[in-house]
A and B are shown apart, each in its own frame.
Chain A
């Protein structure tokens, strides 16, 4: 009887167990054969629903409407050559608005050389530099520029804006760090955006702020030395800032460069052909060794009165742009007559270094003359050829400030002096300069 009882007991536990196991097995079989689905596909739209969505969707207008009396909508039309005397909207004025620093825009020698080049080469180049778009004029201009600036090599671009905007992304990629001045011009900002690097802004011309940022970066590097060994660091500054018309403190920057091991890119659009005893720019102005600057970029549209831009520096640095500078490889080359005009302008600069002294004196003269104007304050240094006049007291709204400045400009034009409002895209600029 005991053994039977034991047996029944043995059987009852397994029976309960068996039923449980049986249920589990059935559940597993069910799970194995049920369809799996991801969460977001639980709502599968039918074709009809899709068609309805497509019918309903309305895009925005391609462009938002622009009000008719927007100031920059209607450009001032200039008839005739844009030189010292300029005819705007029918009025003859003295031109204080173009970047014609050395007065070469209507120089006869430059024009003659451009005409000669036109007679030889025609106007366009019909191709990028790689595919039969390299003319001997281009090579000559590059070698002349590099000799003038006392660097190893120079590279030519066909558009001033594209020069620095292509140079920065050629070297700095995602993961690299760039320290930029807040007052950097728009072309630099586009270059920074295209490079996808980490951007750190320091206050305008404030070396302590820059040093603070560099120290912070150094501490970060100590935490992660492997990453720091492959992260490139750059400082991008302008020689003469177009937005504030003052000069960057180059000697201190060079000291910081060697202390923290960052490379310097110098943008000299405004200072090339202006600063320095021979017009070599801010490096000559301060007496800094040009090899200390890794890359100097400038456009030829200000002092050289041509079109285009160039970068110069050591071959180690510049040669890389010949294959990876987008504005160089994928764009047509500079028309040869413009290159010939630039060569002749360079000749004039080299022959007569006195012109820079004359320019500096005239700048000082204008600066002193404009100093005491009531209601307006002058921004810039005495040697800067492009000065800004800002309102002393802002009315609070940018629009009314602009209107007031516009009326100042119109008043001047009535009296045959041409000035212009400095234009900028409000939504795109990172640090909006005050109206002037």
Chain B
């Protein structure tokens, strides 16, 4: 099975042996009814998640430990007014109210996040395409406040935006169509879907989405996050069971919680864990009363955005059919980005979209618009039109956004008469393969599936997070770095999002620079230069 290899002998996080493993997995040793799944995959499924080498883990924990001790020290200094406190304070009139925040809740924010805060929320002032213009900002008080200098950092290579097919553009067919629609319809709608907000353009878009996905019917919503959190409660309730992957997105977790069903978590992409949970659930029924479950829903994502892994869809569908469960597939990142025709992870594996009960996705990533959709059988969509929280209470999508979806989807499907869509899909898959191979050759630890355009590069040490982000920016490359709590504490990473708009030259620029900078950081495993106040300069030696 695609377990983490334990043969990583590393120096400085460089792996020294090949990690490829084919995903043939035996579900049972004494396999009775589930078909042996080597036949389920039409092409090799290559995924790898190298295990953190021991000495790296130790050093990372040490780094966090030292930062925590310093955090306590600085809190102490702030409390006794030795250090100036930049943290916002409660009103004097409300000083005797119960405190709004527990001190410890914000410990991480105050002491660890603040040091490297300049790596996030970087404002931009151009189209978020392959190259982007950043607003330059400086901080005079060590990241507590920022000032805009008025200058613009031009042409930063954008490896952070979710622009897989390059539809984030302000010229071209999509932009022209959106312009026309804005002139005609305006920008706002002012009503909910079921009252007065159902425009003809929404109907056209939904029919197109249904055709694109190959399902009977589809419905679109104004926000991707809200699609999950408002529709899962409409479908599941008390007495139902939701089996959710370990690393599912917050919106899926929130939707599952709001539904009131029982939630059980299976290990990430681990089919044995999922099967064991399914069997136990059906055999033992609900806890304590042992009544049978009303429905079982398996919730998975197409591409997991922090790991870069692709769901093992053929096996999940085999399990779902065997145990009569329902499948909810969240294709936020994979729609448009995977598959020979861009139809997502179902297309990638060559499966039938009718096998997935509920196909959900967002338009933000590959289509350059905003919003989410759910596709499936006609009864399902009719039910959602009546019972979805979003249709009843939330405003419908803005008309130019809907038009952008229509135009971009037509381009991908090839219905606009050009080969632009097919070109972009091909470019994306070529870029992905090239970029991943280059980074492998240089010896980085990359997580995820070989075909996924999300490329996480492991950093591990807390100091490297800040240093990597800053150094890359100095060299005009914008990357995304993530640490705790979005990832496990010792697995901080930098994440690259490959786009069809990136050219070979851009990717060539990015890889050697990461390599050079990474090598330079060989010994800076804890001691990256964080900002300090003047008083502490004397106290700390780092």
CA distance A341 to B174 in the complex (A): 20
B50 CB–A CB distance under 8 Å: no
B368 CB–A CB distance under 8 Å: yes
Question: B167's closest neighbor in chain A, by CB?
Answer: A124
Given contacts A229-B98, A305-B188, A307-B222, contact A82 B199 (CB under 8 A): yes
Task: Spell out A's residues near B (CB within 8 Å).
Answer: 45, 50-51, 53-54, 57-60, 62-66, 70, 72-73, 75-83, 86, 88, 95, 97-100, 104-106, 110-111, 114-115, 118-127, 129-136, 138-139, 158-162, 165, 171, 185-187, 190, 193-194, 228-233, 258, 261-263, 291, 299, 301-302, 304-307, 314-317, 319-320, 322-323, 326-327, 330-332, 334-335, 337-338, 341, 418, 420-425, 428
Q: Are B283 and A59 in contact (CB under 8 A)?
A: no
Given contacts A86-B196, A130-B120, contact A187 B187 (CB under 8 A): no
Min distance, Cβ A170 to any Cβ of chain B, angstroms: 10
Q: Which residues from B are CB-within-8-Å of A332?
A: 162, 224, 362, 364, 370
* Top 6 A-B pairs, shortest CB-CB distance: A159-B223, A331-B225, A63-B383, A75-B198, A161-B394, A98-B190
Q: Among B88, B90, B170, B390, which residue has its beta carbon within 8 angstroms of that of A118?
A: B170
Q: Which residues from B are CB-within-8-Å of A54?
A: 279, 282-283, 323
Enumerate 5 A-B pairs (CB-CB under 8 Å) in ascending A order: A98-B197, A134-B124, A186-B393, A307-B189, A418-B196
Q: Are B161 and A132 in contact (CB under 8 A)?
A: yes
B357 CB–A CB distance under 8 Å: yes
Question: B33's closest neighbor in chain A, by CB?
Answer: A51
CA distance A77 to B370 in the complex (A): 22
Q: Are A317 and B182 in contact (CB under 8 A)?
A: no
CA distance A316 to B88 in the complex (A): 5
B347 CB–A CB distance under 8 Å: no
Q: Are B188 and A301 in contact (CB under 8 A)?
A: yes
Q: Are A161 and B393 in contact (CB under 8 A)?
A: yes
Min distance, Cβ B231 to any Cβ of chain A, angstroms: 11
Q: Are B257 and A194 in contact (CB under 8 A)?
A: yes
Q: Among A50, A76, A111, A421, which residue has its beta carbon within 8 angstroms of that of B183?
A: A111
Q: Are B191 and A99 in contact (CB under 8 A)?
A: yes
CA distance A54 to B365 in the complex (A): 40
Q: Are B380 and A62 in contact (CB under 8 A)?
A: yes
Q: Are B182 and A337 in contact (CB under 8 A)?
A: yes
Q: Among B187, B254, B480, which residue has its beta carbon within 8 angstroms of that of A338?
A: B187
Given contacts A63-B379, A124-B367, A261-B97, contact A75 B223 (CB under 8 A): no
CA distance A258 to B96 in the complex (A): 10
Given contacts A81-B185, A132-B478, A161-B393, contact A232 B190 (CB under 8 A): no
Most buried by B among A118, A122, A127, A291: A122
Q: Count CB-based A-B contacts (< 8 Å).
A: 347
Q: Are B386 and A98 in contact (CB under 8 A)?
A: no
CA distance A232 to B229 in the complex (A): 26
B121 CB–A CB distance under 8 Å: yes
Q: Among B168, B283, B370, B386, which residue has its beta carbon within 8 angstroms of that of A158?
A: B370
Q: Are A64 and B383 in contact (CB under 8 A)?
A: yes
Question: B200's closest neighbor in chain A, by CB?
Answer: A79
B194 CB–A CB distance under 8 Å: yes
Q: Are B392 and A424 in contact (CB under 8 A)?
A: yes
B520 CB–A CB distance under 8 Å: no
CA distance A106 to B187 in the complex (A): 8
Q: Which residues from B are CB-within-8-Å of A425?
A: 387, 389, 392
Q: Are A60 and B400 in contact (CB under 8 A)?
A: no
CA distance A126 to B368 in the complex (A): 6
Min distance, Cβ A52 to any Cβ of chain B, angstroms: 10
Q: Among B161, B386, B390, which residue has its beta carbon within 8 angstroms of that of A73?
A: B386
Q: Which of B154-186 contact A (CB under 8 A)?
A: 158, 160-163, 167-170, 174-175, 178-179, 182-186
Min distance, Cβ B90 to any Cβ of chain A, angstroms: 6
B292 CB–A CB distance under 8 Å: yes
Stretch at the interface among B18-26, B60-68, B293-301: B293-301
Min distance, Cβ A198 to any Cβ of chain B, angstroms: 14
B244 CB–A CB distance under 8 Å: no
Question: B191's closest neighbor in chain A, by CB?
Answer: A98
Min distance, Cβ A220 to any Cβ of chain B, angstroms: 14
The proximity string for B residues 184-213 relative to A, scoring 1 for CB distances below 8 Å and 0 otherwise, is 111111111111111110010000000000
Q: Are A124 and B294 in contact (CB under 8 A)?
A: no
Q: Are B170 and A59 in contact (CB under 8 A)?
A: no
